Amino acid sequence: MGINNSSGVSRWPRISIVIPTLNRVASLKRLLDVILASDYPDLEVIVVDGNSSDGTVDMLKSYGERVKWISEPDKGEYDASNKGVKMATGELIKVMQDDDLLRPEAFWTVAEYFASHPDVDIAFGRAVCWDATGDKPVELYVSGVKDESKLSLKHWVREQTGVYHINHFMRRRVFEKIGLYSTDYIPGDMEFFCRAASKGIKMGVIPAVIADFYITGENQSLKKRKQMDRDMVAIIRKYGGLDAVVRAIFRHYVIAWLAAVCHKFELHPVRFLLRIRYRLASSRKKQVA
């Protein structure tokens, strides 16, 4: 898509892309090359490097004025993201990880969506999820929200799920209304979007694939997964109360334990549950008798 399209958009908004990074020069360069190859007329690319030692700074220097960047120690991904948001001058802002990719047409699609939905402050598109743990990425599924009714705090708390960085773009006024990312959680994006929903921020769905998300060994590490589960429970308690926490614990721990037991003993999970139900019912009958 080029600038002389027939979309009817009178002025293309500046879009700021904020990328926190640390010692991942190859994936960062791949992402920057994809973004800078776009013919969208007003892009601002901001990289916040956590003082990498793998040649990231030299690589960033090679882009000249096309990329704004800083390199200094930080307190993690969301501390770095907040630094980048403060540097951003765009009307639309996207924070993304350095190992994901945006589709070439994403900027045009997003700009047109916001132009036709002036009341929407955060918009979520769809993303193709890839397994990148092997020698060659394998497509797994397409993620993303299709129904706007699922863009609600009630749904996220009830289902213990949310939406994440790769799928979204937002107006800069969102940060002005609710503040920056919390640095207290691994899924800081989940907390941010729950906070936005609790403050009445209007959200919408972009009916198109705009990005690609890659599952790597790093973002699936066991240690990180366990801490993320604990953080998810904390976020759900913060925004959903004790009842939501009980459901979250059941989903994350009890069901996971049940699945592990069924797998170990080669049991069918539904049959296993029916057996438990039958034995409990039989026990009650004996007690009554």
DSSP letters spanning 89-128: --SEEEE--TT-EE-TTHHHHHHHHHHH-TT-SEEEEEEE
- Whether 260 and 215 share a structural domain: no
Query: Residues near 66 by Cβ (< 8 Å), separated by ≥ 6?
Result: 36, 45
The three-state secondary structure class of 201 is coil
Q: Measured on CA atoms in the order 170, 175, 177, 180, is the torsion positive or negative?
A: positive
| Cβ atoms of 233 and 252 closer than 8 Å | yes
- Whether 88 and 155 share a structural domain: yes
pLDDT attached to residue 171: 98
CA distance linking residue 145 with residue 151, whole number of Å: 8
Q: Residue 3 — pLDDT band, cuts 50, 70, 90?
A: very low
**Which candidate, 21, 75, 51, places its Cα nearest to that of 184?**
75
Residues 214-263: tens digit of each pLDDT: 877 665 555 677 788 788 888 888 887 766 666 666 666 666 666 677 76
Please state, rounded to an integer, the average pLDDT across all residues of the chain. 84
User: For 249, phi and psi rounded to 5 degrees?
Assistant: -60, -40
More confident of the two residues 135 and 74: 74
Residues 46-89: tens digit of each pLDDT: 999 999 999 999 999 999 999 999 999 999 999 999 999 999 99
- Whether 168 and 247 share a structural domain: no
CA distance linking residue 144 with residue 124, whole number of Å: 7
| Cβ atoms of 45 and 36 closer than 8 Å | yes
- Whether 119 and 258 share a structural domain: no
User: Both tokens of residue 232?
Assistant: 């998810």
**Which candidate, 67, 24, 64, 25, places its Cα nearest to that of 45?**
67
User: For 227, phi and psi rounded to 5 degrees?
Assistant: -65, -35
- Whether 183 and 268 share a structural domain: no
Given a cut of 70, whether residue 270 has pLDDT beyond it is no
**Other CB atoms within 10 Å distance of the CB of residue 261:** 12
Q: How far is residue 239 from each of residues 21, 24, 162, 191, 264, measured CA to CA in Å?
A: 29, 34, 13, 9, 36
Which residue has tokens 């009630």? 154
pLDDT attached to residue 2: 45
Given a cut of 60, whether residue 156 has pLDDT beyond it is yes
- Whether 118 and 247 share a structural domain: no
- Whether 269 and 165 share a structural domain: no
Q: Residue 1 — pLDDT band, cuts 50, 70, 90?
A: very low
* Domain ranges, residue 180: 15-220
| Cβ atoms of 26 and 93 closer than 8 Å | no
Which residue has tokens 């990312």? 181
User: For 94, phi and psi rounded to 5 degrees?
Assistant: -130, 125
- Whether 48 and 151 share a structural domain: yes
CA distance linking residue 37 with residue 145, whole number of Å: 28
pLDDT attached to residue 4: 41
What pTM, to 2 d.p., does this model score? 0.80
Of the residues 192, 220, 248, the one at which a domain ends: 220
70: domain CATH number is: 3.90.550.10
- Whether 149 and 284 share a structural domain: no
The mean pLDDT of 137-160, rounded to a whole number, is: 78
The vertex-69 CA angle with 68 and 73, nearest 5°, equals 165
Q: In the beta sheet, which residues pair with residue 94?
A: 17
The mean pLDDT of 113-142, rounded to a whole number, is: 88
Q: In the beta sheet, which residues pair with residue 203?
A: 122
